[in-house]
Amino acid sequence: MSDATADPRYRRKPPKRPLRLSWADERVRGIVWQIVVVGIVGSIIWWLWSNTVHNLEVRRIATGFGFLQREAGLPIAESVIRYDPTDTYLRALTVGVLNTLKVSLIGIVLATILGTLIGIARLSKNYLVAKLAAFYVEVIRDLPLLLQLLFWYTIMQGFPGPRQALNPVEGVFLSNRGLKFPALVWESAHTAALLAFLAGIVLTWLYARAARARQMADGQPRKVWPAAVALLIGLPLLVWQVMGAPWQIDWPALRGFNFQGGMTMSPEYAALLIGLVTYTAGFIAEVVRAGILSVNQGQWEAAQALGLRHGQVLRLIVMPQALRVIIPPMTSNYLNLTKNSSLAVAIGYQDIVSIANTTLNQTGQAIEGIAIIMMVYLTISLSISLFMNWYNAKIALVER
Amino acid sequence: MSDITANTSVPRSAPRREAPVATTGALAWLRANLFSGWLSTAVTLALGYLIVRAVMGLVDWAFINAIWSVPIAPNGQAQTQACRELQGSGACWAVVTEKHRFMLFGTYPYEQHWRPALVCVLFVGLYVVSAMRRFWNWTLVPIWMGTLTVIGILMWGGVFGLPYVPQERWGGLPITLILATFGLAFAFPLSILVALGRRSNLPAIKVLCVLYVELIRGVPLISLLFMASVMFPLFLPEGMNIDKLLRAQIAFILFAGAYLAEVVRAGLQGLPKGQYEAADAMGLSYWQKTGLIILPQALRMVIPPLVNTFIGFFKDTSLVLIIGIFDLLTAGKTAIVEPAWQGFGVEVYVFVGLIYLVFCFAMSKYSAGLEADLNKHRRR
């Protein structure tokens, strides 16, 4: 490519024509068109804006974000951080954002796992497995997500009340109040163990990288798993043991009409998570399938000729190549899942849309409320696409 | 030569033998596809057992134990005790038998229900005609305009002896089809303009189009619908008011326009550069080049993803439930608010889901067929 322009004759810029003030000149037409379009769009926006300002004056609505510091007084059923109805709107909205992130991030992880499994299952040599996966994908993608959410929520509400709760395993209760399960009483030793585990992940990664570098140097494969087990399991256990090994379980128990203790997964959250995961998995499955199919058949055959097993072929040869095709559409599926989590408002899970909607109903600050929703989602969307673009650039094929 | 051949006998071929049973026919297929190894056999048996169990359970629930109608008390109350006694072991299709007119047509006057029913048939006919390649030319424009006018007359009435029905009483399937169809009819031309604008070399226009597309695609549809329901009244001058359905429709058009624009843009980018240069060399103006050379080829290339976007958009019309517009899903949800029918949500959602499924499945099969057809020249 570059040698075509190496010739100095091609590199010379075309001579500049003087701008003629005539309709026949393309540049003049371009400028006029731009002025016209910008003028039309600008005047529409100005018209809407002036109407809005006038309407706000007539209705005596004060604009601005001052209301964020007022007491919210809106109850929130589930929250990641401590929240009380006497807290400010700002804190209520923060709870909403965290609830959105809670369902989106867990949903993305689960949908990726389920979607990848179904996508691979659809390519299975086993007729029954392949057809079942195809049936799942067809049906789940042809039904509106909102309908599916309402369906799951109806099922959740159909479970018996707390007194007749299903008790499949000791300490786990399934009722129309949600899923109750035992929880660990959290102490500082657990935080320390968690930090040790995170440190273990980093150390394992560094160790694996060093082992690979040495394998590259002398061709001898080195075992990574003993070190990984020691770092990932041994290190946290050691820290926990040193700090006194606290181990107290909070069991849920029926007291009166409801459960006390333990952890809860609310029916709203469960319905939303199940709906989002099963729906998005249908789309991810198709992306994964297309990605695997895009890898040349010769790659499979060459890998088999080298004596690799089916799973190894998939993991070592096909998937790294398929990922290049998979990542860009995967990004948009992640973005869709995050945006679709806004449907929570229909089944009463209090995400950012639900809380901002209540806020704007209570305060009358419609413009600010919607602006907050949009800003939150734009920020989340932008973060996910930046991360995925970075990952995509990392795995992209490096060509000359 | 001849005497040699006369003395030697022609070697006869051995009697034809059938291929081994295990390599042909149904048995071989079974071996290859279901029982190719111990793992495959185990998976087949386990899955087969689960499928048979699930299908039997479903048949029990949906047909054998199901109740199809319940007696209605003289005061109009449905007697649903029989359904409640099933306790989930069978479906209560009586709710569908009783409420299907309400779910399909909402609060439209009961004796006028033939009008929305005819409207739905007209919509389906319009889709079928639009799907036929014979009509992919300018004749589609008058066909659409004519059909939509007839649909408007049927829904509103007030002329030709049809009683007038105000828009607040419309509901159910026609609303879903209206939102989807009018949304696409307006969003599609908008998306072409935006896609062209985004590839334009006029910086101001390009920036405007990029901003529009990225802003809309970055936020969920719900926030746009909320905007339509609470902010539009503030945008308009005092005294001027547009109704809820139209506001939602505008939000939909803006939303679909941004998504379709990206699909169209992909088509514009996929077209070889030579086509643009050849059109320029012929001395065509920008609009001649675009209308005669670029768009006919670019749009044809992106028909399958366009249909997929249409499917997504059709499903997304159900979101108007959240701002309280009476579409098919809202009607279904409202049907079970009545105390007698509370708790039969599953049956209602299955019924409503089947309607969505029929429309979306038809579109997706059509898209797949079209894709295969349009890619014929690429296959070797």
- Structural domain range at position A381: 94-156+268-395
Using the Cβ of A342 and the Cβ atoms of chain B, whether some distance falls under 8 Å is answered with yes
Chain A nearest-CA distance from B173, in A, is 14
- Across B187-197, average pLDDT: 92
A 88-127 residues with CB < 8 A to B: 125-127
Within a domain: A110: yes
Cβ distance A158 to B319 less than 8 Å, yes or no, reads: no
Q: How far apart are CA B236 and CA A44, in angstroms?
A: 11
Examine the pLDDT at A146 and tell me if it is beyond 70. yes
- Across A82-101, average pLDDT: 87
Average pLDDT, chain A: 85
Out of A131-135, B9-13, B132-136, which region has the weakest mean confidence (pLDDT)? Answer: B9-13
Average pLDDT, chain B: 85
Chain B nearest-CA distance from A312, in A, is 17
pLDDT at A2: 47
Using the Cβ of B153 and the Cβ atoms of chain A, whether some distance falls under 8 Å is answered with no
Long-range pairs of A123-130 with CB within 8 A, sequence gap ≥ 24: A123/A289, A123/A292, A123/A293, A125/B32, A125/B33, A125/B36, A125/B40, A126/B33, A126/B34, A126/B36, A126/B40, A126/B43, A126/B44, A127/B33, A127/B34, A128/B34, A128/B43, A128/B44, A128/B47, A128/B48, A128/B51, A129/B43, A129/B47
- % of residues, chain A, pLDDT over 90: 27
- Give the model confidence (pLDDT) of B204-247 as tens digits: 888 999 889 888 988 899 999 988 888 888 888 777 777 888 88
Cβ distance A132 to B345 less than 8 Å, yes or no, reads: no
**pLDDT confidence band for A5 (50 / 70 / 90):** low
**A chain contacts of residue B321, beta-carbon cutoff 8 Å:** 146, 346
Alpha-helix runs per DSSP H in chain B: 2-7, 25-33, 38-59, 81-86, 94-105, 114-131, 140-156, 173-198, 203-218, 221-226, 232-235, 244-270, 273-281, 286-288, 295-301, 303-316, 328-335, 345-374
Within a domain: A243: no
Cβ distance B238 to A132 less than 8 Å, yes or no, reads: no
- Across A366-384, average pLDDT: 88
Cβ distance A150 to B360 less than 8 Å, yes or no, reads: no
Q: Which of the pair, A161 or B228, is modelled with greater confidence? A: B228
Within a domain: A361: yes
Examine the pLDDT at A330 and tell me if it is beyond 60. yes
Dihedral sign for Cα atoms in the order B100, B103, B107, B111: negative
- Give the model confidence (pLDDT) of B276-287 as tens digits: 899 999 989 888
CB B213 within 8 A of CB B262: yes
**pLDDT confidence band for A7 (50 / 70 / 90):** low
Examine the pLDDT at A199 and tell me if it is beyond 70. yes
pLDDT at A398: 66
Within a domain: A69: no
- Give the model confidence (pLDDT) of B312-351 as tens digits: 999 999 999 988 888 899 888 888 888 878 778 888 899 9
CATH superfamily of this structure's domain B173-325: MetI-like (1.10.3720.10)
Out of B2-16, B70-84, B129-143, which region has the weakest mean confidence (pLDDT)? Answer: B2-16
Take residue B159 and report the two structure tokens written for it: 């002329």
Out of A213-227, A374-388, B64-78, which region has the weakest mean confidence (pLDDT)? Answer: B64-78
Within a domain: A151: yes
Predicted TM-score (pTM) of the model is: 0.84
pLDDT at B93: 84
- Across A311-338, average pLDDT: 86
pLDDT at A1: 43
Within a domain: A197: no
Dihedral sign for Cα atoms in the order A337, A339, A345, A350: positive
Angle among Cα B169, B175, B179 to the nearest 5 degrees reads 135
- % of residues, chain B, pLDDT over 70: 96
State ipTM: 0.86
Within a domain: A252: no
Using the Cβ of A1 and the Cβ atoms of chain B, whether some distance falls under 8 Å is answered with no
CATH of the domain at A276: 1.10.3720.10
Count structural domains, chain A. Answer: 1
Q: Cα-flanking dihedrals φ and ψ of residue A166, to 5°?
A: -70, 140
Cβ distance A154 to B219 less than 8 Å, yes or no, reads: no
**pLDDT confidence band for B68 (50 / 70 / 90):** confident
pLDDT at B5: 54
Using the Cβ of A310 and the Cβ atoms of chain B, whether some distance falls under 8 Å is answered with no
A·B CB contacts under 8 A: 151
